Chain A
Amino acid sequence: MTPAKTLREPAEIRYAEELSALAAIDEAPKPSGWNLSPRAVRTFILGSDGKTLGSKSKKKTGTVISQKFYGDDALIDRAIITLAGNRGLMLVGEPGTAKSMLSELLAAAISGNSKNTIQGTAGTTEDQIKYSWNYALLLSQGASLQALVASPIFTAMKDGKLVRFEEITRCPPEIQDALVSILSDKVLHIPELGDETGTVFAQKGFNVIATANLRDRGVHEMSSALKRRFNFETVEPIRNKTLELQLVMAQTQALLTDAEATIELDMNVIDLLVTTFHDLREGRTEEGTIVEKPSTVMSTAEAVSVGVSAGLDARYFGNSVVESEHIVRNLVGTVLKDNPEDAKKLKHYFDVVVKSRARTKPEWEAFYHARKWLK
């Protein structure tokens, strides 16, 4: 593999250095099957607060662990403890709240492998959850372990690892329910192989991290039987605007650098973007004006994507300086996804909120003048 060409590397490769540094100094007790102790997993996700790693008996490693998840620290505690226990972990929340990222980080830290993943869709079948067959081999040799095509869950059980199930509610409920008995009995039966080889007992370290959306279109209900086998954790959008501003700024910059577009990002322009997102998401501005929330999710991830497209827009069609008109132009595609009502809401926001801010603040004035791109 040539890393430079890969669009996005899995977490265990991106953070390989941090993970090995953590493993080197990790002295806290580990649940069996885990690569790191719960405490080290927590540090991996929440960062080492700018300090270099070290422990009492070992030397300093010189590595600083970056903070990767912002928001509720206690949620991380609960998530890690859940994974060490009997029940699966179900991460729910609005799109764009970094559920999948969190699941990836947990899998990378605990099992050293985040690629063991089922991507749930309406077309996911039970074969993809349990196992299927290499039919050529099946026909020539009969049922055997060689002819069996293992699913990510199969592999995880056998090796005692974590398996990620993304977007579980997009699968029809009857398919989701294939997990019910696996999660309670921790065993997978393969009747075709007979008693001896046909029973896969989950090894210690096995568990499931599922992510789900409960309120989007095209998602299914979950049965109570399945819900019982998971602990639910809700991942919330970032409520602190300053933190969100820093995050959007840093991530936009990083993604633009990745895309080989060197761009001047002005904090004030990004502030326009983040404030707009914040106001529309909360339905209330800093001044207390109530605005209509669009039906589109105004997540931090969306703000970053607007920032990146605005940057690319400025790079290829402008003079490499992101200005408010680039933000407005790219805002349209984000806010106005499918609901024509949202166009009205955005326009109302500009007419009422942006207009009144434009009277006192010059950067908002430019933003207001760019409203012509709203159509």
Chain B
Amino acid sequence: MRHSTEIQTLLQALLRSSEQEKIIYFPIRHHSPACAWHIQQLIRAEKPAAVLIEGPSDITELIPFILHAKTRAPFAVYTTYIPAKVADETLRSDPHRFAGYYPFCDYSPELVALREGAKVKANLQFIDLTFTDQARESETNSQIRDLQQESYLQRSKYISLLIKKSGCRNHDELWDHLFESSFLTLETTQFIHNVAAYCYMARQDSPTKLLQSDGTIARETAMAMAIQAARSQITGKILVVTGGFHTVALPSMVQQSLKEPTRPKKNPLEESQTVLMRYSFEQLDAINGYAAGMPAPEYYQRIWQSIQTYNSQSDHPFLTVTNEWLVDISAQTRSHRHMSGLSTADAIAALEQSRRLAQFRGHPAPLREDLLDGVRSCFVKGAMDADGLLVMEFVAGLLRGDRIGDLPVDVGVPPIVDDFRKQATRFRLQIQTSIAKSVTLDLYRKANHRRISRFLHRLQFLSIPFGSVITGPDFVKGRGLDRIQEIWEYRWTPQTESVLIERSLYGSTIEEAAIHQIQTEIDHLEEHGKGRSATEAIAMVIQACCMGMQHHAQYILTLIANQISEDSAFDSLIAAMNQLVLLWQSREPLEAQTLETIPELILMLYQRSCYLIPDLVNSPIEAANAILDGFCTVRELVQTQAQLDSELFLSALANLSNAASSNPVISGGAAGILYTSGSLDRPQVIALAIGYLNSSQVRVGAEFLRGLLRTCREIAWNVSELLVAIDEQLSTWDEASFLGILPELRLAFAEFTPQETDKIAEAVQICMAKPIWATLITLS
């Protein structure tokens, strides 16, 4: 009840502001066509003298470019802040960087406010703290952020209850359900009230302490002061466009007398910039996991275009757009190679389904989720996790769109080029001339050299023509690991910068572009992961480490975990395990210490390979050597890596050796390892060997012996009973079978070193002195 009276007061404040006072507060949700449309109507009707918009105040300078005739949305304001280095900075680590995006598209309420405001010659101004001040005020540490984030709304308990109650799936759907569905029939004042009430309730869940600590209060104070200043300077109406979360706090703050907080003076050593850059719908789409986003930008673009041509005679814009989309989607599936084409009848059915669902949910026309539900019902012919995935991904791609914005040429040097020049200068790389230079980097001893190496690796990974490695350790291919220096040759050419400009879309720094690129490759790996081996993924981890992107390496490692669970090849598991152990051992030059999951992954690989061991009993005889080497590797690892439970390995081997074997070499190898580890005692191993040697098939005994001697060489001279058994067996063979088995026997003894052969000969001499045995030794 307390809330209802408070809301009334608030709404009256908003209302009074719009009628008696000259300030109109407009609460928005970023990228909402409904808000954009109402702002458009409001500005056309009220013709305000000033439009104040939430957004870092230094964007104000960029407004002429934003409104430039050649500017096409989507574009973004990109702003960075690098705090001044600590005095004793010895280039030990990258300076802490903060970067923020502020994307605009045609239906962004802020952009509409600017465009319409310019038409009525209003004074346009951004009123938020600059990004530098925001970064200082906030105690959070996230490095790249969306300056329009709505985390408060998403975290609000009130809103999650509302989501549940209204049967929506998430906040986006709830917003569409409440606001996008009915805005056309609402008066602008009513629309403002609805949004404000919604945001007011959501704000009740945010403790003031939190708002204080993350800088929200400081930002709102700055905005309120800017409004006060405008109120005293400007005659005429003032429109204030801010995120609804802030709007509900502003009216009362503007009434108070506020004091400018003391801010630290700008340190000459700190760096900051605010520039415009091209943006794409792909980046804008929240589903892609970019920092600044919202779902299905192309969908809302079409909605916006449709609203612009709407009049009371035409169909509801949402209906028109849904109809267009469904026809479009079904037509596009017909020309898609991997999808079964959908007919016009399907499109009709889907439209009907969407309309009925919309009606059922109380929407005047199908909204985005109604459209998608129509697709789910009528376009998916099979299980959602099979056929459905393909269809839904295809549709998501269409609704996302591939629009890329454009900016006038005189906006200046793209930030990525600037970043390149700054870093190259910092690392003292020559970029004034296009003469080839070389640089020698000491990877193990000098942190700064490692950073230069990473910078060069990133450029190489982005295929920017600049540097190439002449010599050095290649961690990816596992070559030249004994080298401690890396020698690069580099040459700056005009192409270097022109390719950088091409890449500028994917990030405003080289790091961001490299992150984008690796993200793409990770997506690729995820999509086609099943066909690929874990080894390839591990190569990517090492690549990421070379570029100093340990965080992403970590992500790839989690992907590998999935591949391990599907990999059924014992030798590839062992290879992957070896590679990981290598990575863990060379973690210093690669700075892979942070990849804490490597030991876990090694454990997982170990468990998985132990699981596969009992099945190896049926592997072909040709594969035996590789498998036995694998056993030996595992045995070494179990001895050196404490976290591996040796019991698992030994019990797997015991299972293998107990099973009826079609590959005696492997059984022999397993017996050898079990004997060395003490799981089999001497009489047991002798009994096993005698069993195999006495087999009716002569070959089997010799093969078992080969396996046994490969994994446990010392048994040949330590266990005299074995020699006796072999001798007894030899004497039972006739000439023909002896000659038949000779090659296999020779193979069994061929790997001994001369000293070991001598030891065996001695042992033979001690327990017997039969000439035939001596012959055999000389043979090998």
Q: Identify the A interface with B (CB < 8 A).
A: 38-39, 49, 73-74, 77-78, 80-82, 84-87, 92-93, 214-215, 224, 227-228, 231-234, 236, 283-284, 288-292, 344, 348, 351-352
A77 touching B565 in the complex, CB below 8 Å, given contacts A85-B352, A86-B352: no
- Interface stretch among B249-257, B377-385, B716-724? B377-385
Decide if B713 is an interface residue (CB 8 Å cutoff): no
B-side interface size class: 35 or more
Closest CB in chain A relative to B564 CB, distance in Å: 6
Rounded to whole angstroms, the CA-CA distance of A226 and B488 in the bound complex is 64
Q: B600 on the interface (CB 8 Å rule)? A: yes
In the complex, A85 Cα to B373 Cα: how many Å? 14
In whole angstroms, how far apart are the Cα atoms of A84 and B357 in the complex? Answer: 10
- 21 A-B residue pairs with Cβ-Cβ distance under 8 Å, sorted by A, are A39-B360, A74-B167, A74-B169, A74-B373, A78-B376, A85-B353, A85-B356, A87-B378, A214-B383, A214-B386, A224-B340, A232-B381, A233-B377, A234-B383, A234-B384, A234-B388, A236-B385, A288-B600, A290-B608, A348-B607, A352-B607
Chain B residues with CB under 8 Å of A351's CB are 648, 651
Residues of B within 8 A of A289 (CB): 604, 607
- Given contacts A77-B373, A92-B383, A228-B343, whether A290 and B604 have CB atoms under 8 Å apart is yes
Known: A86-B352, A92-B382. A81 touches B360 (CB 8 A): yes
Within 8 A of A (CB), among B359-385: 360-361, 369, 373, 376-378, 380-385
Would you give the shortest CB distance from B230 to chain A, in whole angstroms? Answer: 45
* B561 CB–A CB distance under 8 Å: yes
Q: Which of B361, B369, B561 contacts A290 (CB 8 A)?
A: B561
A233 to B385, CA, bound (A): 11
- State whether A87 and B356 are in contact (beta carbons under 8 Å apart), knowing that A234-B388, A288-B561 are contacts in the complex: no
Q: Is the beta-carbon distance between B385 and A232 smaller than 8 angstroms? A: no
- 8 Å CB contacts to A: which residues of B561-606? 561-562, 564-565, 600, 604
Contact A292–B377 (Cβ < 8 Å) = no
A284 to B558, CA, bound (A): 12
Which residues of B have CB within 8 Å of A224?
Answer: 340, 381
**Shortest CB–CB separation between residue A345 and chain B, in angstroms?**
8
* Pairwise interchain contact B385-A234, C-beta atoms closer than 8 A: yes
Q: Give Cα A351 to B652, complex, Å.
A: 11
Q: In the complex, A57→B475 CA distance in Å?
A: 76
B379 to chain A, nearest CB (A): 9
Contact (Cβ within 8 A) A231 B169? no
B104 CB to nearest chain A CB (Å): 32
A85 to B169, CA, bound (A): 24
Give the CA-CA distance A291 to B648 in the complex, in Å: 15
* Complex: A77 Cα to B378 Cα, angstroms: 14
Complex alpha-carbon distance, A344 and B604, angstroms: 17
State the CA gap A215–B376 with chains docked (Å). Answer: 20
Please indicate the chain B residues that have their CB under 8 angstroms from the CB of A228 in the complex. Answer: 343, 345-346, 381
Pair A78/B373 contact, Cβ less than 8 Å? yes
How far is the CB of B365 from the nearest CB of chain A, in Å?
15
User: Are B377 and A78 within 8 A (Cβ)?
Assistant: yes
> How far is the CB of B713 from the nearest CB of chain A, in Å?
30
Do B360 and A38 touch across chains, with their CB atoms under 8 A apart? yes
Q: In the complex the two chains form, is A292's CB within 8 Å of B565's CB?
A: yes
| Chain A nearest CB, measured from B654 CB (Å) | 13
| Interchain CA distance A228-B348 in the complex, whole Å | 12
Contacting residues, chain A, for B380 (C-beta < 8 A): 232, 234
Bound-state Cα–Cα, A228 to B349, Å = 10
Within 8 A of A (CB), among B402-451: none
- Tell me which residues across on chain B come within 8 A of A86, comparing CB atoms: 349, 352
Question: Whole-angstrom distance between the alpha carbons of A233 and B388 in the complex?
Answer: 10
Interface centre among B165, B565, B648 (most CB of A within 10 A): B565
A contact residues around B648 at 8 Å (CB): 351-352
Contact (A80, B561) CB under 8 Å given A92-B383, A228-B346, A289-B604 = no
Bound-complex Cα distance A81 to B350 (A)? 11
> Is A348 in contact with B611, judged by CB distance below 8 angstroms?
yes
Picked from B340, B376, B383, the residue with its CB within 8 Å of the CB of A93 is: B383
- In whole angstroms, what is the CA distance A87 to B343 when docked? 15
With beta carbons under 8 angstroms apart, the residue of A38, A39, A82, A283 that contacts B565 is A283
B473 contact set on A, CB distance < 8 A = none
Q: Are A231 and B377 in contact (CB under 8 A)?
A: yes
Q: How long is the Cα–Cα vector from A118 to B93 in the complex, in angstroms?
A: 71
A87 to B381, CA, bound (A): 13
Report the Cα distance A78→B378, complex, angstroms.
Answer: 10
* Closest chain B residue to A348, Cβ basis: B611
Interface residue SS majority, chain B: helix
How far is it, in angstroms, between the C-alpha of A78 and the C-alpha of B611 when the chains are bound?
A: 44
**Residues of chain A contacted by B361 (CB below 8 angstroms):** 77
B600 partner residues in chain A, CB cutoff 8 A = 288
- Cβ of B561: which chain A residues have Cβ within 8 Å of it? 288, 290
**Given known A92-B382, A92-B383, A232-B380, contact A290–B562 (CB-CB < 8 A):** yes
A82 touches B377 (CB 8 A): yes
| A residues near B345, Cβ cutoff 8 Å | 228
Closest chain A CB from B181 CB (angstroms):
15
CA–CA, A82 and B343, complex, Å: 18
Chain A contacts of B352 at CB under 8 A? 85-86
Give the distance in Å from the alpha carbon of A85 to the alpha carbon of B352 in the complex.
8
Min CB distance, B595 to chain A, in Å? Answer: 15
Inter-subunit contact B360/A236 (CB<8 Å): no
Q: Give the chain A neighbours of B401 by CB distance below 8 A.
A: none
Cβ-defined contact, A344 with B614, below 8 A: yes
- Chain B positions within 8 Å of A234 at CB level: 380, 383-385, 388
- The answer to whether A231 and B353 touch across the interface, beta carbons within 8 angstroms, is yes
Cα of A352 to Cα of B382 in the assembled complex, Å: 36
On whether the beta carbons of A82 and B353 are closer than 8 Å, the reply is yes
**B36-58 vs A: 1/0 string, CB under 8 Å?**
00000000000000000000000
Chain B contacts for A214, CB-based, 8 A: 382-383, 386
CB of A81 within 8 A of CB of B349, answer: no
Cβ–Cβ contact B349 & A87, under 8 A: yes
Q: How far is the CA of A161 from the CA of B356 in the complex (A)?
A: 20
CB distance from A338 to the nearest CB of B (A): 19
A81 touching B384, Cβ below 8 Å: no
Determine the distance from Cα of A236 to Cα of B388 in the docked complex, in whole angstroms: 13
A71 to chain B, nearest CB (A): 12
Q: Identify 9 new A-B residue pairs, CB closer than 8 A, beyond the known A74-B167, A78-B376.
A: A74-B169, A82-B353, A87-B378, A214-B382, A214-B386, A228-B345, A232-B380, A290-B564, A344-B611
Q: Which A residues are CB-close (under 8 A) to B381?
A: 224, 227-228, 232
> Given the complex of chains A and B, what is the CA–CA distance between A84 and B349 in angstroms?
12
| Smallest CB separation, A91 vs chain B (Å) | 11
By beta carbon, the residue of chain B nearest A38 is B360
Q: Which 7 A-B pairs have the closest CB atoms?
A: A234-B384, A290-B565, A231-B377, A227-B381, A81-B356, A78-B377, A348-B611
Which of chain B's residues have a CB closer than 8 A to the CB of A81? 353, 356-357, 360, 377
- Residues of chain B within 8 A (CB-CB) of A352 are 607, 648
A344 surroundings in chain B (CB, below 8 A): 611, 614
Q: How far is the CA of A231 from the CA of B382 in the complex (A)?
A: 9
Given B356, B382, B614, which contacts A232 in the complex, CB threshold below 8 Å? B382
**Choice from B340, B382, B611 contacting A292 with Cβ under 8 Å:** B611
* Shortest distance from the beta carbon of A229 to any chain B beta carbon, whole Å: 10
Task: List the A side residues contacting B386 at CB < 8 Å.
Answer: 214
A92–B385 CA distance with the chains assembled, in angstroms: 11
Q: Which residues of A contact B608 (CB under 8 A)?
A: 290
**Chain A residues closer than 8 Å to B165, beta-carbon distance:** 49
Measured between alpha carbons, how far is A144 from B360 in the docked complex, in Å? 43
Report the separation of the CA atoms of residues A78 and B380 in the bound assembly, to the nearest whole angstrom.
Answer: 13
